[in-house]
Amino acid sequence: MHLERSIPALRDRRRALLRTGRTVALVPTMGALHAGHLALVRRARELADEAWVSLFVNPAQFGPGEDLDSYPRDLEGDRGLLQSEGVALLFAPSSNEVYPQPPAVRISLPDLAAGLCGAYRPGHFDGVALVVTKLLNIVQPEVAVFGAKDFQQAAIVTRLVADLDMPARIEVVPTVREVDGLAMSSRNRNLDPDQRRRAASISRTLKAARTAIVEGGERSARRLESLMGESLAAEAGVRLQYVAVVDADSLQPLDAVGGRTLLAIAAHVGSTRLIDNLVVEVP
């Protein structure tokens, strides 16, 4: 596996590869890799001749007071994992390489970014849209692979690429979970054993809401939100940020669930912010 830190050198490699006709699938990550990331890598290997992974903790998507400094970092561990997954190239640029000057460009998808995490992380999805645009312009992959765990991000990236006629196809991979249901996340590394145990209540709550829809026939979005809110409030040490029941395509709030419905939660466990979601097909 080749480790590349320079944009011009990466472009040279990409140009050389284009002449051979080999295709590239890009997996953008912030590192501290886990089995969720590796599922994306395996999908990338199925979709193209070479899987390339980017590792960049993007300062533009962290707000003041968020965990940019404490975000877990493990370049050596990540390199070993990616090497054994058959990744051809790891692109790990410095902040200065990606942002040699403060960007004057802003990319906003206000309708998709207004709710859910966007309501609590102002500017976050502008930072995501900017760095994804830059990475797709730098690497020019045939396909880029994202996780459904960050559902709003995947929706925003899919729409970004469609609206701007960017050539990459976006592929979304289902959420990979721990045995107790907790969605895998780099931030899980920051949980102590007690917090780690309590964190499983987030996915349990989503599953209970899905059961209420599928088996209990519940269709009121407000009642489902109350159900989820109460279930998490009962868990000591878990501080709810939001529960939401929205249309999975528009991400707009629903009164009555129907069609593809997204159930989403964000909560703090200690100082660690965790998110999770489930999509339910409601006939």
| Binding footprint of ligand AMP on the chain (CB under 6 A) | 29-30, 36-37, 39-40, 146-147, 149-150, 173, 175-176, 183-186
37/79 with CB nearer ligand AMP: 37
User: Phi, psi at residue 60, to the nearest 5°?
Assistant: -65, -15
What is the smallest separation between the CB atom of 198 and ligand AMP, expressed in angstroms? 18
Residue nearest to ligand AMP (CB): 147
55/228 with CB nearer ligand AMP: 55
Give ∠ CA 78-29-116 in degrees, rounded to 5. Answer: 140
What is the smallest separation between the CB atom of 32 and ligand AMP, expressed in angstroms? 7
Q: Which residue type occupies 208?
A: A
8 exposure class (CB count in 10 Å sphere: 0-12, 13-18, 19+): exposed
What is the smallest separation between the CB atom of 176 and ligand AMP, expressed in angstroms? 4
CA–CA distance, 253 with 122 (Å, rounded to integer): 19
What is the smallest separation between the CB atom of 218 and ligand AMP, expressed in angstroms? 27
Minimal CA–CA distance to 24: which of 33, 32, 16?
16
CB within 8 Å of 87: residues ≥ 6 apart: 1, 41, 51, 52, 53
Give ∠ CA 148-151-153 in degrees, rounded to 5. Answer: 110
Alpha carbon 22 to its chain's center: 27
152/212 with CB nearer ligand AMP: 152
10/184 with CB nearer ligand AMP: 184
Of the residues 34, 37, 124, 268, only one is catalytic, namely 37
What is the smallest separation between the CB atom of 269 and ligand AMP, expressed in angstroms? 16
- Say whether 37 is catalytic: yes
Q: Give the tokens for residue 38.
A: 């590796």
127/147 with CB nearer ligand AMP: 147
CA–CA distance, 141 with 172 (Å, rounded to integer): 15
Query: Which residues belong to the active site?
Result: 37
